[in-house]
Structure 1
Amino acid sequence: MHLFRLALVSLLSTAALGQASTMQPVLTRSGDNQRSGSFLDSVLTVAKVQAQGIRRVTTIPVSGDARGMEAQPLVLPGVKVADGSTHDVMVLPSMANIVRGVDATTGAGIWSTTLGTPIQGGAAIDAHLINDKWGVLSTGVIDPDAKLAYMVAWISPDGTPQRGVHSIFSLNVATGAIVGAPVSLAGLRNGTQGYNDTMRKQRSSLVMTTVGGRKMVFFAYGTVSETGKAAAGAVVAYDVAMKKVTAFLPLSQGLGGGIWMGGQGLAADSAGALYGVTGNGSFNGVNDFGESIFKVVYTPGATASLKVVTWFSPYSDAGRVGLDPAASGPAAPMTDKLAGVSAPSEEVAMPVGGGMKPSLVGTRTVISRDVNTGRVVPLVYPANATDPAWSDEDLGSGGCTLIQSYGKLLCGGKDGLGYVVNTASMGNTMPADFRNAKANCLKLATPPVWMTASPGPVDPCPQDTTTLNFMPYGKTRHLHMTPVQYMSPTRGMTIFVGGENSTIHAWSMAPSGAMTYLAESREVASIANTQSPGGMPGSFCALSSNHGAAGTAILWCSLPYGNANAQLTTGRLIAYDAENFTTDSDGKHLLKLWDSQDWNLQYSFNKFMPPTISGGQIYLPNYNGGVDVYGLAP
């Protein structure tokens, strides 16, 4: 571990001299513990973006890794640094475990700290060999009172994943100094599951909240091999005053239940309760919660604990492959699958002789009609409805957004369906409930909706869940971004989502949780992938506004041109008016304000990265080892 100072150069641009800072704190992923994706900004307006346009101001280097960072940038304004000057400090941890503190306005370096030796990228953990190194993968969290940044780093003495261990670090935001000894996750065990049982992947971001007067950091993890032995996800509780892990809760004592959520962290309400969603795994409603939306409560004290207090599951993995839906999981373990490999996105693309069944052979097409726009939609179904290559539809592929004022939580997964649950009681699905799907879905606040793309009048809650194994237009519609919420002064709660190979959709949400389609963009994610099954991972969006004042709500979205999961691809940054839509002959559409494509502004798309907005600047980490900074053109 090493700490060194960087020279403070170009601390303030000429334009910024003498001006009061407009930077707002960005302390956690998506801007707040509700994971709303909304950022307070007093500089950017619809009129300014339309009149002036956007330019790339600079690119801030991220140290030690060819791809840069997977964490979302965090900002703490008004920090007095080592030389006595005051800065809005942005914290940038790289996948090489090198953390930089920079001036958020200018990008000038203030400090740099090395946490430890990262894992070297390789086929054992990355099927597509995209990442250079594996270190700080998740977004950390900043405590503004203590001016400490917390993060989890994957460290190995020899750079191999087999010897890698995740540890919790706390850094002084003013100096970059490591405060206290790192806290290792090694040795954590609960029942049949332990941290050391297999290689873990800690992608889900951190959240800080207070429970029973104790300031806590919570986070979750999944595994490198999602369906392998001991591949259980877990929630970890860290007491910041005690500087120790006080509770550890696997979400499965069987198989799977990983928590990754496209990089999103657990949501937290004002009482400190935690909300999330799991992926593939066994389910029994007791201590196995694969394919489940859940609420976890932490109880502090001498015997501190984490407990799932309420949950909902729409289907079982067994049901998705045509077996008894009430079974805990498939009769035989699924084929071992690395995290980051998606079916059907990957498996259907395999050529004949490629080592797996080419499941596009013999597919059938059913013509349907989009219920929102009236457009014809061809639905492509597998030749065999129980083909496992089409049934790996993780519920937990995207994060959840908490609408606390409504008492609702919205989650979505690879089917592209949106599920709204009541946070007080989610219905507590049990295995027998899968034998009566309609009764189970009545546990939801409102019926599920096809959120990323309408396949027409297809039942989103069928008794036979193999009927969900299809692709509209022959392409996946998986949701990996967390839905963005915006309280419109004219429409009320508005939700924005963007799935794979799909347009960006706008929905309204009533206090009951009922969702109504509003409009969609004309722009499509992975537009360059013209063949089935398309590309990953869809759009990632964030919203800026000045407390919802008229003319200030702007939706910022980063879209890939190609398949960003399997290869490096160029990205496209677009600004939309979040309040006003256009009405054309083919329906309602998001009003585009600015498009990087129109200005030939290119960047390397960062797979699970939404924009961050603060002080009139838009920050977007790229896969070229830096953070692109955009702002109003002069």
Structure 2
Amino acid sequence: MAIVFTPIVLGAQIDILTNRYDQQRSGTNLRETTLTVGNVNSSRFGKLYSYPVDGPVYAQPLYISGLTIKGAVRNVLYVATMHDKVYAFDAGNPSSVPLWMTDFTRPPSITPVPITDIVPMSGGNIIGNIGIQGTPVIDQATHTIYLVARTKENGEYVQRLHALDIISGGERPGSPVEISGSVPGTAADSTVIDGTRVVTFDPLVQVQRTGLALTNGVVLIGWAAHEDVTPSHGWIMGFDATTLARVAIVAVTPDAYLGGIWQGGRAPAVDSAGNAYFATGNGKWDGTRNFGDSLMKFQVARTGLTLLDYFTPGNEVTLSANDDDLSGSGFTLLPGTNLLLGGGKEGVLYLLDANNLGKKVPSDTQIVQKIPVNGGHVMGGPVYWNSASAGPLIYNWSELDVLIAYRFSNGRLVTSPYAQGSVISPGHPGGSLTLSARGAAANTGIVWASMPSFGDARHSLAAGILRAFNAETLAEIWNSNQVASRDRVGNLMKFVPPVVANGKVYLPNHDNAVQVYGLLPPNFSVNIAPAAQTVAPGRTATYSVTVTMQSGFTGQVSLSGIGGPPGTTLSFNPQLLPGPGTATMTVKIPSGTAAGSFTLAVTGTSGAAAVRSANPVTITVASTTGAVGAIGINFIGTSTATMAASESAGAIAQSHWNNAAGAASGTALALVDGSGATTGARVTWNANSGWSTPITDAAGNARMMKGYLDTTSTSSTTVNVTGLTSRAYDIYVYADGANGTHERSGAYTISGAGITPTTIAAIDAASTNFSTTFIPAKNGAGNYVKFTITAGTFTVTAVPAAADSTTRRAPVNGIQIVPLQ
């Protein structure tokens, strides 16, 4: 794509100041004049570039058109991360340099909260750190963005409400304020304060997942609990948008646990009077003080919150017992009506009258409509479009179901689908939807869906995919895997819908980036592979740079590159491509470079066209001058494919993996490091046999994890590495076998001269093989174990341990040796 600033088209201006576009949470942008059913296809639409950030983006990005920052009028994208940073990017510029960035941490004393401080498990709803999770909200009149940041400060846990200037990123006067409070309650965690028994907000346990809302001068915030950890409660607080003084506090279940508000990340719907609607999860219900599994309607004022009405499903007792939260997706106010539509983990859509929610009645006979979906959770929630061809349509994509469009007629959904897609959601969380269109115009409506490409993202990472459908027929017109080398999303960021604005689609992933899609320039594209490499100071790394012609473009393309630490040189062979093709970029890192990670980018120039690489890549300097770089050993087993030098793999990504063939080594294999340089290190190994997992072979991680050394039920595997520079290393032992429906575990021991023998068990979970995520096994389920040693030689021994059948195994897919500082 050409490096140009996107012209600001006044007719297409849109501001996305809150979660799901508007107060109703309609999920719809009706001012999209660029993207249509006719031009969103794999030849004309794709990934343009990415904005790198420092952590996963669980919060939906926000967007403002025509904002003057640093002396220029720009469209601005606001991104908040789980590492407690907020970025402002020029949304029409591919530059990875933000307009500003605000950091709420000061390591090592102030950091994001590690998820393992709350739920000591290797995989869960959250993977990594917790910082800014709920979608912020922007007050355009005052140029203020409000957000909640969670930090760990010298061992204490804190949540704060921040109010930042959207022009500079600076704190507003009086910002931030620490979040705390208590309400009368008799739950098991209650205490007596000043003679009154109260329950108190816990900043460690309470998860701020739902988006923030702004209404009647009050910033509204809701909380649930991580993995339903107790003691916890659902909480709602209101803060004066000007002073940040707390003006309201509500505990959903003050006399019991749970009742969390998470709503699949959706902010509470807000009606024209400023009333807010919060959906709660499983917990105690009595209809007076405790409101588990309910939709609660609050009048909002700077003087406090007043509960006006509520709806509770008639089968609330069953929902609570089964953890079928009503709070699964939150609710949408259907535009032009007084009706609310939403659902949860039960797999039911409820249509409610906002003026009379109906409270709790057996069999829900008091409500407008109740629609079971196809057995899956409702997580992404509905979006609405009043189309020219079919009138009002409502779209929903539940787990384990296809995308469905319902007609909306006479105040009810016509339950027989108007249209439905052909792609079945592979699992949690189903599709997170956005609809873009030019008003009601035919052939402009597109349903965009972010979802897993395969597998389930409930308690692990899953590869993501962005899909686009004709909103009038639900025929799929494009997806990001059609030209995966150009458009791949990366790991899914569940619950975050695509953000469509002014001809571009912005989609965060779990890999520390926001991907930007749009119409491809009518010339050529530039892509770099692999995505990441590790190299020692004074050494080189090579990348493949591919130039692809588009729309009949012909011409020579000259290549140039930027990035890396100071003093880095980038050269190309060939430097001038006569047409489409691939060149080798050699990156030379200066001796004495300190450890760190750096971005590389390539620009292709042909006449007046200058095209920057769609995928900025990283190079990591992993050790000090003279040290050996990271070494990867790939045990091929019975796999038929070996890893090419350019393939990047491992929990610490590197290239130049050493391919080790056969069940045992006849002679020692000399090892090269991640830059391709010889090291003097050698490896020998002895196993009963080789084998392979049933995963699909693909370059990189999948290829490294496919083949492995195997044991019998009683034998062991040994791997000996000698000739390393004696120093500190992290040793990664990758373990994933073809165990089918059986659970097996292996005991992995490292030993050697000067090494205290250490054993770590790894459980190979039933019906699970490596997909896209490396999970550390710490005497539990996972696909690798990690040891830290200081030595120049070591031995790894793999011994089969417990299994749920008579067949026991201890696979070894690969070993990675990563030098430490």
Alignment of 1:352-431 (within 5 A): 391-429=322-360
Q: What's the secondary structure of 1:31's corresponding residue?
A: coil
Question: What corresponds to 1:177 in structure 2?
Answer: 170
Q: 2:208 aligns with which of 202, 210, 219?
A: 202
My pick for the range that moved more, 511-520 or 112-121, is: 511-520
- State the 1:424 CA deviation: 0.4
Q: 2:455 aligns with which of 537, 562, 577?
A: 562
Given that residues 199 and 225 in structure 1 are in contact (C-alpha distance below 8 angstroms), is that contact kept between their aligned partners in structure 2? no
Say if 1:165 and 1:188 are closer, same or farther in 2 by CA, change over 3 A. farther
Question: What corresponds to 1:30 in structure 2?
Answer: 20
Q: Over residues 533-586 of structure 1, what are the superposed CA-to-partner deviations in whole Å (9 max), with x where a residue is unaligned?
A: xx321111101111222221110011201111222221121111112x2xxxxx
User: Which has the higher relative contact order, 1 or 2, with Cα contacts under 8 A spaced 6 or more apart?
Assistant: 1
Given that residues 254 and 290 in structure 2 are in contact (C-alpha distance below 8 angstroms), is that contact kept between their aligned partners in structure 1? yes
Structure with bigger strand share is: 2
Partner amino acid, structure 2, of 1:99: V
Partner amino acid, structure 2, of 1:613: V
Q: 2:381 aligns with which of 472, 475, 482?
A: 482
Distance between the aligned counterparts of 1:79 and 1:564, measured in 2?
A: 37
- State the 1:224 CA deviation: 2.6
TM-score by length of 2: 0.57
Partner amino acid, structure 2, of 1:35: R
- State the 1:482 CA deviation: 2.1
Q: 1:133 aligns with which of 120, 129, 135?
A: 129
Q: 1:86 aligns with which of 73, 82, 98?
A: 73
Q: Over residues 289-335 of structure 1, what are the superposed CA-to-partner deviations in whole Å (9 max), with x where a residue is unaligned?
A: 101122111243xxx22122111111455345xxxxxxxx7xxxxxx
Distance between the aligned counterparts of 2:469 and 2:356, measured in 1?
A: 36
Distance between the aligned counterparts of 1:22 and 1:427, measured in 2?
A: 40
Distance between the aligned counterparts of 1:150 and 1:21, measured in 2?
A: 28
Q: Over residues 338-389 of structure 1, what are the superposed CA-to-partner deviations in whole Å (9 max), with x where a residue is unaligned?
A: xxxxxxxxxxxxxxxxxxxxxxxxxxxxxxxxxxxxxxxxxxxxxxxxxx6x
Question: What corresponds to 2:296 in structure 1?
Answer: 294
Distance between the aligned counterparts of 2:422 and 2:127, measured in 1?
A: 31
Structure with bigger helix share is: 1
Alignment of 1:106-121 (within 5 A): 106-108=93-95, 109-116=98-105, 117-121=111-115
> Unaligned regions of 5+ residues in structure 2, if any?
106-110, 186-197, 522-821
Question: What corresponds to 1:599 in structure 2?
Answer: 483
Kindly, what percent of the aligned residue pairs are identical? 28
Partner amino acid, structure 1, of 2:66: G
Aligned-residue CA RMSD (Å) = 2.2
Question: What corresponds to 2:253 in structure 1?
Answer: 252
Given that residues 39 and 45 in structure 2 are in contact (C-alpha distance below 8 angstroms), is that contact kept between their aligned partners in structure 1? no
Question: What corresponds to 1:494 in structure 2?
Answer: 393
TM-score by length of 1: 0.74
- State the 1:404 CA deviation: 4.7
- State the 1:500 CA deviation: 1.4
Q: What's the secondary structure of 2:285's corresponding residue?
A: coil
Partner amino acid, structure 1, of 2:114: Q
Distance between the aligned counterparts of 1:243 and 1:414, measured in 2?
A: 34
Question: What corresponds to 2:219 in structure 1?
Answer: 217
- State the 1:228 CA deviation: 2.2
Partner amino acid, structure 1, of 2:483: W
Distance between the aligned counterparts of 2:152 and 2:203, measured in 1?
A: 16
Distance between the aligned counterparts of 2:131 and 2:59, measured in 1?
A: 10
> Unaligned regions of 5+ residues in structure 1, if any?
1-9, 321-328, 330-387, 454-471, 527-534, 582-589
Question: What corresponds to 1:341 in structure 2?
Answer: none
Say if 1:97 and 1:494 are closer, same or farther in 2 by CA, change over 3 A. same
Given that residues 218 and 300 in structure 2 are in contact (C-alpha distance below 8 angstroms), is that contact kept between their aligned partners in structure 1? no
Given that residues 42 and 482 in structure 2 are in contact (C-alpha distance below 8 angstroms), is that contact kept between their aligned partners in structure 1? no
Q: Over residues 402-432 of structure 1, what are the superposed CA-to-partner deviations in whole Å (9 max), with x where a residue is unaligned?
A: 1152210011111211011100011122xxx
- State the 1:77 CA deviation: 1.8
Does residue 536 (structure 1) correspond to residue 428 (structure 2)? The answer is yes
Partner amino acid, structure 2, of 1:271: A
Q: What's the secondary structure of 2:475's corresponding residue?
A: strand
Does residue 60 (structure 1) correspond to residue 74 (structure 2)? The answer is no
Does residue 449 (structure 1) correspond to residue 371 (structure 2)? The answer is yes
Distance between the aligned counterparts of 2:346 and 2:152, measured in 1?
A: 36
- State the 1:262 CA deviation: 0.6
Distance between the aligned counterparts of 2:450 and 2:92, measured in 1?
A: 21
Partner amino acid, structure 2, of 1:306: L
Distance between the aligned counterparts of 2:50 and 2:8, measured in 1?
A: 24
Q: What's the secondary structure of 1:421's corresponding residue?
A: strand
Question: What corresponds to 1:459 in structure 2?
Answer: none
Distance between the aligned counterparts of 1:19 and 1:500, measured in 2?
A: 38
Distance between the aligned counterparts of 1:53 and 1:60, measured in 2?
A: 21
Q: 1:523 aligns with which of 418, 423, 435?
A: 423
Say if 1:538 and 1:149 are closer, same or farther in 2 by CA, change over 3 A. same
Alignment of 1:260-279 (within 5 A): 260-279=262-281
Q: What's the secondary structure of 2:355's corresponding residue?
A: coil
- Mark the structure with the bigger radius of gyration: 2
Question: What corresponds to 1:284 in structure 2?
Answer: 286
Distance between the aligned counterparts of 1:617 and 1:197, measured in 2?
A: 37
Given that residues 89 and 99 in structure 2 are in contact (C-alpha distance below 8 angstroms), is that contact kept between their aligned partners in structure 1? yes
Partner amino acid, structure 2, of 1:125: V
Q: What's the secondary structure of 2:471's corresponding residue?
A: strand
Q: 1:164 aligns with which of 157, 164, 171?
A: 157
Q: 1:96 aligns with which of 65, 83, 97?
A: 83
Distance between the aligned counterparts of 2:259 and 2:171, measured in 1?
A: 33
- State the 1:233 CA deviation: 0.8
Partner amino acid, structure 2, of 1:118: P
Q: What's the secondary structure of 1:95's corresponding residue?
A: coil
State the aligned residue count.
492
- State the 1:69 CA deviation: 1.0
Distance between the aligned counterparts of 1:317 and 1:42, measured in 2?
A: 45
Q: What's the secondary structure of 1:521's corresponding residue?
A: strand
Distance between the aligned counterparts of 1:513 and 1:294, measured in 2?
A: 22
Does residue 306 (structure 1) correspond to residue 305 (structure 2)? The answer is yes
- State the 1:493 CA deviation: 2.2
Given that residues 190 and 249 in structure 1 are in contact (C-alpha distance below 8 angstroms), is that contact kept between their aligned partners in structure 2? no
Distance between the aligned counterparts of 1:122 and 1:71, measured in 2?
A: 20
Distance between the aligned counterparts of 1:249 and 1:106, measured in 2?
A: 43
Does residue 574 (structure 1) correspond to residue 467 (structure 2)? The answer is yes
Partner amino acid, structure 1, of 2:213: V
Distance between the aligned counterparts of 2:424 and 2:100, measured in 1?
A: 40
